[in-house]
Amino acid sequence: MSETIELAKALVARRSITPDDAGCQALLISRLEPLGFYCERLRFGEVDNLWARRGNDGPLLAFAGHTDVVPSGPEERWNSPPFEPTIRDGLLHGRGAADMKGSIAAFVTACERFIDQHPKHGGSLALLITSDEEGPATDGTIKVVETLESRGEKIDWCLVGEPTSVDHLGDTVKNGRRGSLNGRLTVYGIQGHVAYPHRVRNPIHLAAPALAQLSATEWDRGNDHFPPTSFQISNIHGGTGATNVVPGELEVTFNFRFSTEQSAEGLQRRVEELLIHHALDFRMEWTLSGDPYLTPAGSLVEAAREAIAEITGTETRLSTSGGTSDGRFIAPTGAQVIELGPRNATIHQLNEGVELTHLDQLSAVYERTLEKLLLQP
């Protein structure tokens, strides 16, 4: 087994369910410090974070990732225990193998080989690792970035190891993400007996036309880099559970995934204007998970594309699809940010797995990207 696979196995064996790092970062430190990295543990709340940097000069290239994983689900339905790394049919199986302990292992082994061959490389190299990506993401990468910003430490290029590949390693690289805006709507009515409709105001009936209009609205048509903004209701609740009681309140939660054609403020304003138009008695609560960001063609995108082609022979497609990632906290600092990792076919599923050959190729792609960016004259 290669160094990358062995390290990935060691990480998968740690039951690091959000926000518990379970010793993953200590293992990384034991590999990074001998390479000359200054390793800084940054703990916020219950979250362990690691900022490891080698060098003081610019430009600064940072690998970003997370050691935390989602719960395994029913362990008896796994073909092998989720935190017992198992090699089967050419894959490493275990929770986090693809999302994203395999990428973190590839970060480290790429750095080890790169530094061994180029100990006096230009610029600086760093790893930003959190245990709060799969959870609320309030005490993880965002807090580390705030710390770096407060002391004037700027990331120039950031490569996030999220699993982006679809069919072949490197066939898809994320060079941006849509924004995510969550809304919690409470519509107020008057509770009462269903047999006396003149004495009640049914908030479900009152809200239905507004919800239908929200669902049917074309918010925009997207642009060359982003699909159209989407609106989806995720939860709806009203009633006491009794069949003969009209509820006094209706609660609806929904989400916008929005392109750069929109702003969070603009979407909030349009929604609230529509609710007022429908004469609803309501309360709105908004939570912005992140604004959209885009890294256009540039040095980082081109270095990754060339490295992928050289190592795998694959032509890369740029995409902004999918959910959010911690790249949304790093991009606003002015850094070029892309996401590149293994296939995402089994992430968050039972029997999550990653191809062994892809782990070794991924490490080689990361190493080649380092050479293209940090060995420039």
pLDDT, tens only, 275-321: 999 999 999 999 999 999 999 889 999 999 999 999 999 999 999 98
pLDDT at residue 376 greater than cutoff 80:
no
Residues taking part in catalysis: 68, 133
What pLDDT score does 188 carry?
Answer: 98
Other beta carbons within 10 angstroms of residue 113's beta carbon come to 17
Other beta carbons within 10 angstroms of residue 122's beta carbon come to 14
With CA atoms as reference, report the closest residue to 220 among 254, 253, 256.
256
Find the helix or strand (DSSP H, E) in which 232 lies. Answer: strand 230-238
What pLDDT score does 246 carry?
Answer: 97
What pLDDT score does 293 carry?
Answer: 93
What pLDDT score does 363 carry?
Answer: 98
With CA atoms as reference, report the closest residue to 46 among 145, 161, 136.
136
What gap in Å lies between CA 17 and CA 91, rounded to an integer? 22
pLDDT, tens only, 322-363: 888 999 999 999 999 999 999 999 999 999 999 999 999 999
Find out whether the peptide bond into 228 is cis, omega within 30 degrees of 0.
no
What pLDDT score does 377 carry?
Answer: 60
Find the helix or strand (DSSP H, E) in which 264 lies. Answer: helix 264-277
> Percent of the chain having pLDDT more than 90?
97
Q: How confident is the model at residue 8 (pLDDT cuts 50, 70, 90)?
A: very high
Give the residue carrying structure tokens 């699809």: 321
Q: How confident is the model at residue 1 (pLDDT cuts 50, 70, 90)?
A: confident
pLDDT, tens only, 119-177: 999 999 999 999 999 999 999 999 999 999 999 999 999 999 999 999 999 999 999 99
What's the angle, vertex CA 245, arms to CA 240 and CA 247, rounded to 5?
A: 60
What pLDDT score does 58 carry?
Answer: 93
What pLDDT score does 88 carry?
Answer: 96
What gap in Å lies between CA 362 and CA 164, rounded to an integer? 12
What pLDDT score does 307 carry?
Answer: 98
328, two tokens: 């949304």
What pLDDT score does 323 carry?
Answer: 83
pLDDT, tens only, 245-262: 999 999 999 999 999 999
Q: Are 170 and 180 in contact (CB under 8 A)?
A: no
Mean pLDDT of 53-76: 97
207, two tokens: 């809200």
What gap in Å lies between CA 85 and CA 307, rounded to an integer? 29
pTM score, whole prediction: 0.90
